[in-house]
A and B are shown apart, each in its own frame.
Chain A
Amino acid sequence: MRRLKRSLLLPAAAAMALAMAAAGCAQSDRDGGGDASERNESDPFIFAGASNPRSMDPIYASDGETFRVSRQTTEALLRHEPGGTELEGALAEDWEHNEEGTEWTFFLRDGVTFHDGDEFNADAVCANYERWNETTGMAQSSSVMYYWNVLFDGFAENEDDDMPDSNFVGCEAEDDLTVTIEIEEYSARYPGAFSMAAMGLLSPSTIEQIPDDPVGGDSDDPSLPEYALDDTIAGTGPYELVDWDHGSEEVKLERFDDYWGDTANIREMIIKTIDDETARRQALEAGDIHGYDLVAPADVDPLADAGFNVPERDVFNVMYLAMVGDERIEDDHPDRLEEAEALADKDVRTAIAHAVDRQRIVDTILPPGGEVATQFIPDTLSGFSSDVTTYDYDPDLAREMLEDAGYEEGDLELEFCWPTDTTRPYMPAPQDIFNVVSNDLEEVGITVNENGLIWDDYIPYTEDGACSLYLLGWTGDYNETYNFLGTWFAGYKSAWRFEDDDVFDTLDAVNAEPDDEARIELYEEANEAIMDYLPGLPLSSSPPSIAFAEDIDPPTVSPLTQEDFAETSWAE
Chain B
Amino acid sequence: MSRFIVRRLLQLIPTLFGLSVVLFIWFNRLPGGPEFALMPENATPEQREQMREILGLDEPVAVQYMKFLGRLAEGDLGVSIASGRPVLEEFATRFPATAELAILAILIAVTLGIPLGYIAARNRGRFLDFAAIGGSLLGICTPVFFLAYIFKVIFAENLGIFPSAFRQSAGLNATNITGFAILDGLMTREWDAALDAFMHLVLPAAAVATIPLAVIVRMTRGSVLEVLSEDYVRTAEAKGLHRQTIRGRHVLRNSMLPVVTAIGYLSGQLLAGAVLTESVFAFNGIGYFIYQATQSRDYPVVMGFILIIALIYVLINTLVDISYNLLDPRVRVN
Residues of A within 8 A of B (CB): 1, 4-5, 8-9, 11-12, 15, 19-20, 22-23, 25-27, 29-30, 32-33, 44, 46, 51-52, 54-55, 60, 62-63, 138, 141-143, 146, 149, 160, 217, 219-224, 228-229, 246-250, 252, 268, 270, 272-276, 279, 282-283, 285-289, 424, 454-457, 459-460, 463, 472, 474, 487, 494
A487 adjacent to B284 (CB under 8 Å): no
B166 adjacent to A288 (CB under 8 Å): yes
Interface residues as binary, B177-191 with A (CB distance below 8 Å gives 1, 0 otherwise) = 001000000000000
B282 adjacent to A283 (CB under 8 Å): yes
B282 adjacent to A286 (CB under 8 Å): no
B97 adjacent to A456 (CB under 8 Å): no
- Bound-complex Cα distance A459 to B33 (A): 11
B147 vs chain A, min Cβ distance (A): 15
Within 8 Å by CB of B43, from A11, A60, A142, lies A142
A149 adjacent to B93 (CB under 8 Å): no
A279 adjacent to B165 (CB under 8 Å): yes
A472 adjacent to B41 (CB under 8 Å): yes
**Contact residues in A for B257 (Cβ distance below 8 Å):** none
- Bound-complex Cα distance A26 to B47 (A): 50
B207 vs chain A, min Cβ distance (A): 14
- Bound-complex Cα distance A143 to B196 (A): 39
* 19 cross-chain CB contacts under 8 A: A12-B111, A22-B199, A32-B169, A55-B84, A141-B50, A142-B47, A143-B51, A219-B56, A220-B55, A220-B67, A222-B84, A270-B170, A274-B165, A279-B281, A286-B156, A454-B32, A455-B36, A455-B37, A460-B36
Contact residues of B between 1 and 50, Cβ < 8 Å to A:
31-33, 35-43, 45, 47-48, 50
Q: What is the chain A residue whose CB lies nearest that of B167?
A: A248
A-B residue pairs, 4 tightest by C-beta = A456-B32, A224-B84, A220-B56, A8-B115
Number of CB contacts from chain A to chain B under 8 A: 206
The total of chain B residues at the interface (CB under 8 A) is 77
Contact residues of B between 56 and 94, Cβ < 8 Å to A:
56, 67, 71, 78-79, 82-86, 90, 93-94
Within 8 Å by CB of B198, from A12, A22, A60, A268, lies A22
Whether B236 sits at the interface, judged by CB under 8 Å, is no
**Contact residues in B for A286 (Cβ distance below 8 Å):** 156-157, 160, 163-165
B200 vs chain A, min Cβ distance (A): 9
Q: A142-B51, A286-B160 are in contact. Are A223 and B84 (CB under 8 A)?
A: yes
- For B108, B114, B156, B164, the residue with the greatest tally of chain A CB atoms inside 10 Å of its CB is B164
Interface residues as binary, B217-259 with A (CB distance below 8 Å gives 1, 0 otherwise) = 0000000000000000000000000001001000000000000
Whether B202 sits at the interface, judged by CB under 8 Å, is yes
Whether B118 sits at the interface, judged by CB under 8 Å, is yes
- Bound-complex Cα distance A5 to B116 (A): 9
- Bound-complex Cα distance A463 to B47 (A): 13
Within 8 Å by CB of A146, from B40, B79, B244, B292, lies B40
**Contact residues in B for A275 (Cβ distance below 8 Å):** 279, 282, 292, 295
**Contact residues in A for B163 (Cβ distance below 8 Å):** 30, 286, 288
B42 adjacent to A46 (CB under 8 Å): no
B284 adjacent to A146 (CB under 8 Å): no
**Contact residues in A for B168 (Cβ distance below 8 Å):** 248
**Contact residues in B for A228 (Cβ distance below 8 Å):** 84
**Contact residues in B for A246 (Cβ distance below 8 Å):** 83, 85, 90, 93
A288 adjacent to B54 (CB under 8 Å): no
**Contact residues in A for B295 (Cβ distance below 8 Å):** 275
B192 adjacent to A141 (CB under 8 Å): no
A474 adjacent to B41 (CB under 8 Å): yes
**Contact residues in A for B119 (Cβ distance below 8 Å):** 5, 8
Q: A33-B170, A229-B84, A286-B160 are in contact. Are A276 and B282 (CB under 8 A)?
A: yes
Whether B280 sits at the interface, judged by CB under 8 Å, is yes
Within 8 Å by CB of B192, from A29, A160, A270, lies A29
A456 adjacent to B169 (CB under 8 Å): no
Q: What is the chain A residue whose CB lies nearest that of B192?
A: A29
B157 adjacent to A282 (CB under 8 Å): yes
**Contact residues in A for B86 (Cβ distance below 8 Å):** 223
- Bound-complex Cα distance A115 to B86 (A): 29
Q: A27-B160, A249-B284 are in contact. Are A288 and B85 (CB under 8 A)?
A: no
Contact residues of B between 277 and 291, Cβ < 8 Å to A:
279-282, 284
A247 adjacent to B284 (CB under 8 Å): yes
A46 adjacent to B171 (CB under 8 Å): yes
Within 8 Å by CB of A455, from B32, B112, B195, B199, lies B32
B84 adjacent to A32 (CB under 8 Å): no
Interface residues as binary, B247-278 with A (CB distance below 8 Å gives 1, 0 otherwise) = 10000000000000000000000000000000
**Contact residues in A for B93 (Cβ distance below 8 Å):** 246-247
**Contact residues in A for B32 (Cβ distance below 8 Å):** 454-457, 459-460
**Contact residues in B for A456 (Cβ distance below 8 Å):** 31-33, 36-37, 297
A340 vs chain B, min Cβ distance (A): 20
B159 vs chain A, min Cβ distance (A): 9
Whether B150 sits at the interface, judged by CB under 8 Å, is no
Whether B131 sits at the interface, judged by CB under 8 Å, is no
- For B47, B108, B179, B282, the residue with the greatest tally of chain A CB atoms inside 10 Å of its CB is B282
A272 adjacent to B45 (CB under 8 Å): no
- Bound-complex Cα distance A11 to B107 (A): 10
**Contact residues in B for A15 (Cβ distance below 8 Å):** 107-108, 111
Within 8 Å by CB of A248, from B33, B198, B284, lies B284
Within 8 Å by CB of B35, from A26, A143, A252, lies A143
**Contact residues in A for B85 (Cβ distance below 8 Å):** 223-224, 229, 246
**Contact residues in B for A9 (Cβ distance below 8 Å):** 115
**Contact residues in B for A26 (Cβ distance below 8 Å):** 195-196, 199
- Bound-complex Cα distance A454 to B294 (A): 13
- Bound-complex Cα distance A63 to B41 (A): 11
Q: What is the chain B residue whose CB lies nearest that of A243?
A: B173
B315 vs chain A, min Cβ distance (A): 23
- For B35, B41, B152, B153, the residue with the greatest tally of chain A CB atoms inside 10 Å of its CB is B41
Whether B305 sits at the interface, judged by CB under 8 Å, is no
A563 vs chain B, min Cβ distance (A): 18
Within 8 Å by CB of A63, from B33, B40, B114, B297, lies B40
A217 adjacent to B79 (CB under 8 Å): yes
Sample of 9 more A-B contacts, CB < 8 Å, known A223-B84, A246-B93: A51-B292, A141-B51, A142-B39, A143-B50, A146-B43, A249-B282, A275-B282, A282-B157, A288-B170
B221 vs chain A, min Cβ distance (A): 13
B72 vs chain A, min Cβ distance (A): 12
**Contact residues in B for A54 (Cβ distance below 8 Å):** 82-84
A217 vs chain B, min Cβ distance (A): 5
**Contact residues in A for B107 (Cβ distance below 8 Å):** 15
A22 adjacent to B51 (CB under 8 Å): no
Within 8 Å by CB of A252, from B45, B67, B171, B292, lies B171
